Amino acid sequence: MKKAPAIRAKKAPRVSVSELNVKKTAARVLSAKLVSTEISYVQRVLGASATQEDLDAKVLAVRQMPWSSIVLPE
């Protein structure tokens, strides 16, 4: 009797969380530009790479967040 082939869940591809990718994502999902502080926050929270879905969600969320939670304290 043959075993059924194992079905593997596909992993979502990861993309670089570069300034350019964050800007492109913002233009696509927000139709607006992010300021540099918001871009830095997204990069800081997501790290070097993330799935496109995570990047989309974080870009949408950053506009709803209070400014005090985005800016790094001096």
Q: Which two tokens stand for residue 67?
A: 């400014």
Give the structural domain span for 50.
Answer: 14-67
Residue 45 within a domain? yes
User: How many structural domains compose the chain?
Assistant: 1
Residue 7 within a domain? no
Residue 18 within a domain? yes
CA angle 68, 47, 39 (to 5 degrees): 45
The reported pTM is 0.82
Q: What is the spatial distance between Cα 14 and Cα 48, in angstroms, rounded to a whole number?
A: 10
When comparing pLDDT for 31 and 26, which is higher? 26
Residue 2 within a domain? no
Q: Which of 14, 69, 12 is nearest to 42 (CA)?
A: 69
When comparing pLDDT for 32 and 24, which is higher? 24
- pLDDT bucket at 1, cuts 50 / 70 / 90: low
